[in-house]
Chain A
Amino acid sequence: MRTALWAIILKELRQTFRDKRTAALLIVAPVIQLIVLGFAVNLEVDHVPTAIVDLDRTPESRRFADGLVAGETFEMKGNVDTGEEAIELIDHGKVCIAVVLPAGFERSLGDGLPTQVQLLVDGGDSNRAIIAQNAATAYTTQVGFRLAMDRAQQQAAALGVFVKRPALLQVQARILYNPTLNSHIYFVPGVGGTLLLVVTVIVTSMGLAREKEAGTMEQIMVTPMSPMVVILGKTLPYALIAFVDLGLVVAGGALIFKVPIRGQLWLIGLAGILYILTTLGIGLLISTVAKSQQQSFMLAFFFMMPAILLSGFMTPIANMPHWLQLVTHFNPVRHLIEVLRAVLLKAATFSDVAPQLVALGGLGITVFLLAVMAMQRQLK
């Protein structure tokens, strides 16, 4: 029994590391993908290409425009003379936002009249459009307040009287857990969850299909090995590799993207084990249906796409319709990502992530048992 199990594990590891491509898929690819996806999946908005339409051409209008592009958010791409030209630039994708300062900007401000600044925003990328618009609005409000203060003080000085500062209500936002709004911190756990999914589901399902194609499955079946030994022998090595990958992703996230590790790592380990149980089970289930490696790959893909989309990796689950939110409770990727985020960023304790762990455990045991039953039926 133990001899047979060890024989299968050794054989799987030998085959995996003999084929350079599989070995690379399992060990190197997760790290490279973490880096590539980590940099690519970046929701921070800065260096928004910006055009200025200064119809006033006065010191005040120039000061406004210079101040706008002085920060990180906007990047000056050029001055144009008319609003039409600005729209043309947006049309061609040269700029994403154009700020129109009307003629008489300085004089109107000097007279204390309501003065308007027009924003032209490319709404094609709605996330970037909203953030750019908010940033431009905030800047305009700030300039308006400074002008009001300056004017009040000048008048007070001219009259030789003391005036109180005008009342001011400000929002003071303090962002917890991720004060710099580093979006890598949000994404690295997601990348970890999806990578483990790919490694475990694809490798298990294709590994068994390969044996069917080569006829070695038949040869295994005439040996006295029990179906359980075959299943364990064909999953344990990949569970171990996936576990190493999880460690690599957490370590890579910390070293490369400065993702903090605030909580206890054993919670991540436990969640990882339960998660891998589910994904390996799905791999086994696919392999009982698929007749070839190609079919396995397609089926694995059909499972993985929705699992990733409904995991909260890219889009918040809270934004999904209610019925779809219910569906995500059956998605192991969702629970793993939640545990990773909570433990890494919020130092969550066991009781904090207990619901997710229970969900992962329930899914893991159910799916793995189903897979074992399906496999046993097939191996008999």
Chain B
Amino acid sequence: MSLDEHVIEVRDLSRKFGAFTAVDAVNFDVRRSEIFGYLGANGAGKSTTIRMLCGLLAPTTGHATVAGKDIARDPVGVKRSIGYMSQRFSLYLDLTVQENLQFFAGAYGIGGKKQRVAVDAALERAQLQDSRNVITKSLPGGVRQRLALASALIHKPVILFLDEPTAGVSPDSRRDFWRMIRGLAREGTTLFVTTHHLDEAEYCDRIGLMVDGKLVALGTPPELKREHVAGAMFALADTDHRALRAALAGDARVLQIQPFGRRVHLRVDAALGTPVDIQSMLTGRGVAFGEIQRIEPTLEDVFLELVGGAS
């Protein structure tokens, strides 16, 4: 089994709800043990795609295979091979930690001695060996998230779908969570993650970006930045973005000016590669500025570029 093997193959996948096209002829592949980030605003078609890939919703046209199974013809086979965790960490809050794990193991047909082994392994993974008899409701959010992850993995799925897994979790827990995700990928699990935290998307091996039901970009984060964000980017301290915009009006080398916190991001033609180039460009234009730093574009810039272009 090579690492290049595709565990998800999506071909011209579309889903319509009445006249509304939620997912419009989407194509992509996901390789084994890859962390694939599926990005987009709310309503861009992320959830509809994930629901189709999990065997919950039949496609209108096109097809897809997940773990070698056709999503339309063998949804039960798909469900057996995948794990799914939603942003709501859907656990039974009135059951204990162990009872939740027992239920989900049973739901995947794991019974008897195998169930005891699987539950113990899940408790260890979630570091909840000492809390097995604690009622889930009394666990803090981050711990619940670990439990939800462990129960989504109880049947050792080939692929794990994570739908907005870090919504409503503290930044510390989010970091821990991504550490676990990367560990899973190293062990050979493929991860399909939807998120709207663009900073989190940087952790992904590859990214697909959805805008209005269409997949508008696909690639590794550096590829996306190279392809979609042209030129060189600089951060300027102590300057006013309106004054800067006025001062540089009509200069063809300027690609984009954007306020970013207390600084301004200035994107210019790639020919201007160093802070010294910028300094000389701005000198004599009557605009105040502080320190100039060359910066790498973020996925946020990619996103703004693509969404701006689409609208």
Interface residues of A (CB under 8 A from B): 1-4, 6-8, 10-11, 14-15, 18-19, 214-216, 218-226
Residue B177 interfacial (CB < 8 Å)? no
Answer yes or no: B94 CB below 8 A from chain A CBs. Answer: yes
Interface contact A7-B92, CB-CB below 8 Å: no
- The interface size of chain B toward A, counting residues with CB under 8 Å, comes to 29
Residues in chain B near residue A218, CB distance under 8 A: 86, 88, 90
A11 touches B92 (CB 8 A): yes
Most chain A CB inside 10 Å of its own CB: which residue of B93, B104, B109 = B109
Q: Which 5 A-B pairs have the closest CB atoms?
A: A7-B106, A3-B111, A215-B88, A219-B90, A222-B84
Indicate the member of A1, A8, A19, A225 with the most B CB atoms within 10 Å. A225
Interface residue B80 (Cβ < 8 Å from any Cβ of A): yes
Closest to B91 in A: A216
- Out of B91, B99, B104, B112, which one reaches A223, CB within 8 Å? B104
Q: Which residues of A contact B108 (CB under 8 A)?
A: 4, 223-224
A223 to B66, CA, bound (A): 15
B306 at the interface (CB under 8 A from A): no
Complexed CA–CA distance, A225 and B155 (Å): 13
A11, B110: Cβ atoms under 8 Å? no
Q: How far is the CA of A218 from the CA of B86 in the complex (A)?
A: 9
| Residues B93-117 near A (CB distance < 8 A) | 93-95, 99, 102-112, 115
B95 close to A18 (CB less than 8 A): yes
At the interface, yes or no: B23 with Cβ under 8 Å from chain A?
no
Residue of chain B at shortest CB distance from A217: B90
Give the distance to chain A from B98, nearest Cβ to Cβ, in Å.
11
**CA–CA, A7 to B115, complex, Å?**
11
B residues in contact with A4, CB < 8 Å: 106-109
Q: What CA separation (Å) do A3 and B108 show in the bound complex?
A: 8
Q: Given contacts A215-B90, A222-B56, is CB(A15)–CB(B95) below 8 Å? A: yes
Considering the chains assembled together, what is the distance between the CA atoms of A2 and B109 in angstroms? 8
Which chain A residues border B115 with CB–CB below 8 Å?
3
Contact A14 B95 (CB under 8 A): yes
Tell me if B13 is interfacial: C-beta within 8 Å of chain A: no
Q: Name 25 interchain pairs, CB-CB below 8 A, sorted by A.
A: A1-B109, A3-B111, A4-B108, A7-B102, A7-B107, A7-B111, A8-B106, A11-B99, A15-B94, A15-B95, A214-B88, A214-B90, A214-B92, A215-B86, A216-B91, A218-B86, A219-B84, A219-B86, A222-B54, A222-B56, A222-B79, A223-B108, A224-B107, A225-B107, A226-B76
Other A-B pairs, 10, CB within 8 Å; known A11-B99, A221-B56, A225-B107: A3-B112, A4-B107, A4-B109, A7-B102, A7-B111, A14-B95, A14-B99, A218-B88, A219-B90, A222-B54
What's the nearest-Cβ distance from chain A to residue B101, in Å? 11
The reply to whether A220 and B107 form a contact with Cβ atoms under 8 Å apart is yes
- B211 on the interface (CB 8 Å rule)? no
Q: When the two chains form their complex, are residues A3 and B106 in contact, meaning their CB atoms are under 8 A apart?
A: yes
- Pair B106/A216 contact, Cβ less than 8 Å: no
| Residue B82 interfacial (CB < 8 Å) | yes
Report chain A residues within 8 Å CB of B54: 222
Q: Which residue of B lies closest to A379 (CB)?
A: B56
Q: Say whether A11 contacts B84, CB under 8 Å.
A: no
B82, A222: Cβ atoms closer than 8 Å: yes
* Residues of chain B with a CB closer than 8 A to A214's CB: 88, 90, 92-93
Candidate in B79, B94, B111 with the most chain A CB atoms within 10 angstroms: B94
CB–CB B86/A6 < 8 A: no
Q: What is the CA–CA distance of A19 and B137 in the complex, to the nearest angstrom?
A: 13
Closest partner residue, chain A, to B161 (CB atom): A222
B-side contacts of A6, CB under 8 Å: 106, 111
Which residues of the other chain, B, contact A223 by a CB distance below 8 angstroms?
79, 104, 107-108
A215 vs B164: C-alpha distance when bound (angstroms): 14
